[in-house]
Structure 1
């Protein structure tokens, strides 16, 4: 999660909500029609007091039963028309607004897939989850109700006040008296409620993060008996959210108290004055009934101002949070400013050595590469600097180094999970920043030390590393290479779902499936981050034997800690203090480099 959050003190709710227009524009006709229908329905209700005036001053005063029944019929028809119009309004907005919410959620998901790894390193998953669920639900509710009724109620209040002033301007001015205090209260409420709404929605994201981490880490929590401390942490966040929600409730209660009390007092005053004037003969009873009926009809539009403003502020905050993510710069296909012809590569199955010859630019090359994380403290030294390394076509290079030397970061630079700070990396002489990311990642397969599996079948997890439409033979071959034939013994074979994070499998099984995913597409370049660390000795030997066949046809960079893994490689590179300090065969480095010999002898095993 970001260390700073947007403040709500200086932002305009209206300006923020206008950012929703690209999503609303396709359904604007239906929303506008719904608003017009709602205005007509609301104004239809204001005709009822005029009918009552006619009835009181006419049929009632003249003791005309037929006229009274006719007036009752008019009232019934007006009530039915109002109800039907409001029903039409709801029908008009229900389907399109569900589509708007679905489109925004889909856009958010697509955008998250295109954001760089550095973004996901900063943001908590619970915060992203709350933006894609709770915040979008608030936006749909705003578009369906407050957006329309802020307009409808404003028009209704305006028309109602005109009607009351036309009925009797003196009583109308009495009812208008609370307008300024109510408006001033609304301005104060809007600013303070915006702050509380932002805090509450951020706390919902924090709470979602704790729940998600507790579920995914349930084995650790149970294994160390930390359920009480986790429950305490959850309770503290929950209590903080409860406190914020109570503050919102107090603010809403305050504005409701003002909005309800002052107009009610004004209506009561107008009632007393009106009765006195009727008694004096200065005002007809029908006019007083119509005036008070109109005033009472405006109670709902006036009383609703508080929670409509509250919902609008929550929607503005939700919009702000949504676009905080959408405004993040996604990964570009190629680096900015890169021009030129599209790079070409050999077809799958054709070895790099035969396709590019033995030129010095062929294979995988790091040229004076320097890297520091974008959010590193200013002035801090780079994690990697002056990296010069050449892995020849068809060659396997083991990368060895102590913990914190930058091995995993270096491997992440090849598929551009992170961007180099300076220098360049080339594949067959082509700068990787000139290669579209989709093509680059189709050519470079990766397997991480911490394998990640998805809540799909074993086969689907493995075939994520292959082109669409890969055949069953490719799956079986990959499982065989990774010594993951245990998949065939599962209840539904390779169609068995592995569950969230693959936690129904052992660590070694997950790692073998991740390795199968890396090799299933027969990649031209293979990047393996200590892919055998969770395997037992016998399984490791079997995997290594099969992996040698794969490495014979690819160019590979392998992070290694064990001598057995190092022996898979043709040469070894030693990474120390962010630099490549030695390159050679395993035997050469054992005899010529003390640090390498210590790493391989296990003297630094504890620092792995």
Structure 2
């Protein structure tokens, strides 16, 4: 957890202010029982009313200073902890945004959400406690012991018996509670994962009539977390009554033995009352420390999980000496590219070489699992090649700044993903400063105008998270419009026409041909009708190029392509 405290650097002066305020608060609180003892010993016993007024006024001033310091320290502590949480959340989000798809898979979306929310909240809460108690509690404890001994050393022997007993109890409770706190965070991850899958996959769950099964999964994860939480809270709940019991018996012992010493004239009654208050301050400071030390292990477990994210070195990062592309615009070349997913025994694609130039449409076709989408994911550097190189405008993509590389690309993913917001906001996601005319033109080319105009609010229609309130074909067309609006040098369509009917598909491709005449276009598709007009068709089979050429050339030279074509087109269509 100490590693995370480096994020407190911007709050150095505020932290110093809290420490100074708590120092003066502790001094004030330690001084009050002594003033009260003076009032009793001198003012009340001797009947000195002016003395009582004078010391009473001083007590009010000291209490006022203590209150002001406490409120101010509380305000600064809250401000620091919230600012700290904000900064760490920002760091986690920024680091997660730089992860490759492999690194995302390592941690998991549900776990990332838990780490960014619940784990940071645990550390924020502990940070407030540390700032409020780490200084005041030890100071009150040590100062209280010194002041109590100064009042009566013999009566302090009660504390010699009580304090080890109290400390031992705190240790036992913490030892049993810490492992359970760590287990709770893991079980919270599992609950979030089940909940996320249940909510995002609700259509599939209903379609396969698995609602009862999902309910069972959720209830199991929920009960598991609840059982652990109840167990740890029972342990923690036992701490306070036991400590209060010890404190009350300590008070009885102090009054009993203090009364005996007062009756023998060995101690003044005011000193006994002050001693009692110092004893309570000492034990309350131990209670505060115990609460802090119980919370720290849970926060420590959360800090470990946060550091795991922050300490991951992204596999994909800009080279130390980046290169910018020359005057070429939109040239893509694969040179002997081989790529394997982490942990895979064999490469997904192997020895892939081809070029795609501006003004050309390069289509990639092949069977399921042949590596088509993987090939496209290497262009924007979602993954890095294992061997060979992917060149954009003559420069290896690993040597280009990621921002500059991706600015050249309009990417339409295989699974159309939309964000919550309006249709216009989703299209403008491709180009933040796009005008309304540009947005409308992109929607028109993507064949989305028809269904947009049929909606009540048109471009201002709200899209639900993930685009669940529109059809698959509509999502694909909006994803295409999002890529079109930025007018990139390279268009990458990863099976982006699969949800469209043949008529819409044909109209869209005709419109795209005009719009992308000067750009490089790469298309992955399952339909032969989508790729047969391409300038170049790359046929993949088990991760290798089985053939390359135009539609007519491949019909004569590539058996794999002929097999794909014959499975989709009739003899009349082939002719």
TM-score (norm 2): 0.91
Is the aligned partner of 1:282 residue 2:263?
no
Alpha-carbon deviation of 1:292?
1.3
Is the aligned partner of 1:173 residue 2:157?
yes
Q: Give the Cα–Cα distance (whole angstroms) in 2 for the partners of residues 329 and 82 of structure 1.
A: 47
The CA deviation string for residues 293-320 of structure 1, in whole angstroms up to 9 with x for no partner, is 2112333212222222122223322322
Is the aligned partner of 1:197 residue 2:165?
no
Q: Secondary structure at the match of 1:171?
A: coil
In structure 2, what is the equivalent of residue 477 of structure 1? 441
The CA deviation string for residues 533-568 of structure 1, in whole angstroms up to 9 with x for no partner, is 001122112112212224432222211111111123
Q: Secondary structure at the match of 1:177?
A: helix
CA RMSD of aligned residues (A): 2.5
How many residues are aligned here?
Answer: 568
Alpha-carbon deviation of 1:45?
2.0
User: Given that residues 396 and 551 in structure 1 are in contact (C-alpha distance below 8 angstroms), is that contact kept between their aligned partners in structure 2?
Assistant: no
Is the aligned partner of 1:124 residue 2:108?
yes
Q: Give the Cα–Cα distance (whole angstroms) in 2 for the partners of residues 399 and 335 of structure 1.
A: 29
User: Given that residues 328 and 394 in structure 2 are in contact (C-alpha distance below 8 angstroms), is that contact kept between their aligned partners in structure 1?
Assistant: no
Cα 1:329–1:99, aligned 2, differ >3 Å: closer, same or farther?
A: same
In structure 2, what is the equivalent of residue 592 of structure 1? 557
User: Given that residues 252 and 306 in structure 1 are in contact (C-alpha distance below 8 angstroms), is that contact kept between their aligned partners in structure 2?
Assistant: no
User: Given that residues 533 and 551 in structure 2 are in contact (C-alpha distance below 8 angstroms), is that contact kept between their aligned partners in structure 1?
Assistant: no
The CA deviation string for residues 193-236 of structure 1, in whole angstroms up to 9 with x for no partner, is 34322221232233233333322223333333332222221111
Q: Secondary structure at the match of 1:170?
A: coil
The CA deviation string for residues 5-34 of structure 1, in whole angstroms up to 9 with x for no partner, is xxxxxxxxxxx2x22333212222222222
Q: Which moved more, 1:191-200 or 1:506-515?
A: 191-200
Q: Give the Cα–Cα distance (whole angstroms) in 1 for the partners of residues 351 and 178 of structure 2.
A: 50
Match of 2:351 among 368, 386, 411: 386
User: Given that residues 100 and 316 in structure 2 are in contact (C-alpha distance below 8 angstroms), is that contact kept between their aligned partners in structure 1?
Assistant: no
Q: Give the Cα–Cα distance (whole angstroms) in 1 for the partners of residues 440 and 43 of structure 2.
A: 91
Structure 2 counterparts to residues 427-442 of structure 1, below 5 A: 427-442=392-407
Q: Give the Cα–Cα distance (whole angstroms) in 2 for the partners of residues 398 and 269 of structure 1.
A: 89
The CA deviation string for residues 417-473 of structure 1, in whole angstroms up to 9 with x for no partner, is 11111111112322111211111111122111210011122222222223x423333
In structure 2, what is the equivalent of residue 56 of structure 1? 40
User: Given that residues 116 and 417 in structure 1 are in contact (C-alpha distance below 8 angstroms), is that contact kept between their aligned partners in structure 2?
Assistant: yes
The CA deviation string for residues 366-387 of structure 1, in whole angstroms up to 9 with x for no partner, is 111111122x15xx11222222
The CA deviation string for residues 311-338 of structure 1, in whole angstroms up to 9 with x for no partner, is 22233223222222122223655346xx
Q: Give the Cα–Cα distance (whole angstroms) in 2 for the partners of residues 576 and 36 of structure 1.
A: 71
Q: Give the Cα–Cα distance (whole angstroms) in 1 for the partners of residues 470 and 46 of structure 2.
A: 89
In structure 1, what is the equivalent of residue 572 of structure 2? none
Cα 1:58–1:322, aligned 2, differ >3 Å: closer, same or farther?
A: same
Is the aligned partner of 1:221 residue 2:205?
yes
TM-score (norm 1): 0.87
Cα 1:325–1:224, aligned 2, differ >3 Å: closer, same or farther?
A: same
Q: Secondary structure at the match of 1:61?
A: helix
User: Given that residues 363 and 538 in structure 2 are in contact (C-alpha distance below 8 angstroms), is that contact kept between their aligned partners in structure 1?
Assistant: yes
Structure 2 counterparts to residues 363-512 of structure 1, below 5 A: 363-374=331-342, 376=343, 380-466=345-431, 468-485=432-449, 486-512=451-477
Q: Give the Cα–Cα distance (whole angstroms) in 1 for the partners of residues 412 and 402 of structure 2.
A: 17
Q: Give the Cα–Cα distance (whole angstroms) in 2 for the partners of residues 587 and 170 of structure 1.
A: 106
Q: Give the Cα–Cα distance (whole angstroms) in 1 for the partners of residues 234 and 377 of structure 2.
A: 50
Q: Give the Cα–Cα distance (whole angstroms) in 2 for the partners of residues 479 and 340 of structure 1.
A: 36
In structure 2, what is the equivalent of residue 241 of structure 1? 225
Q: Secondary structure at the match of 1:597?
A: helix
In structure 1, what is the equivalent of residue 73 of structure 2? 89
Alpha-carbon deviation of 1:164?
0.8
In structure 2, what is the equivalent of residue 359 of structure 1? none
In structure 2, what is the equivalent of residue 358 of structure 1? none
User: Given that residues 39 and 156 in structure 1 are in contact (C-alpha distance below 8 angstroms), is that contact kept between their aligned partners in structure 2?
Assistant: no
Q: Give the Cα–Cα distance (whole angstroms) in 2 for the partners of residues 541 and 216 of structure 1.
A: 32
Structure 2 counterparts to residues 4-43 of structure 1, below 5 A: 16=1, 18-43=2-27
Cα 1:509–1:82, aligned 2, differ >3 Å: closer, same or farther?
A: same
Is the aligned partner of 1:232 residue 2:216?
yes
Q: Give the Cα–Cα distance (whole angstroms) in 1 for the partners of residues 176 and 385 of structure 2.
A: 44
Q: Which moved more, 1:119-128 or 1:62-71?
A: 62-71
Match of 1:569 among 526, 529, 534: 534
Alpha-carbon deviation of 1:238?
1.0
Alpha-carbon deviation of 1:113?
1.8
Q: Give the Cα–Cα distance (whole angstroms) in 2 for the partners of residues 334 and 78 of structure 1.
A: 59
Q: Secondary structure at the match of 2:324?
A: coil
Q: Give the Cα–Cα distance (whole angstroms) in 2 for the partners of residues 574 and 185 of structure 1.
A: 72
Q: Which moved more, 1:405-414 or 1:520-529?
A: 520-529
In structure 2, what is the equivalent of residue 7 of structure 1? none
In structure 2, what is the equivalent of residue 139 of structure 1? 123
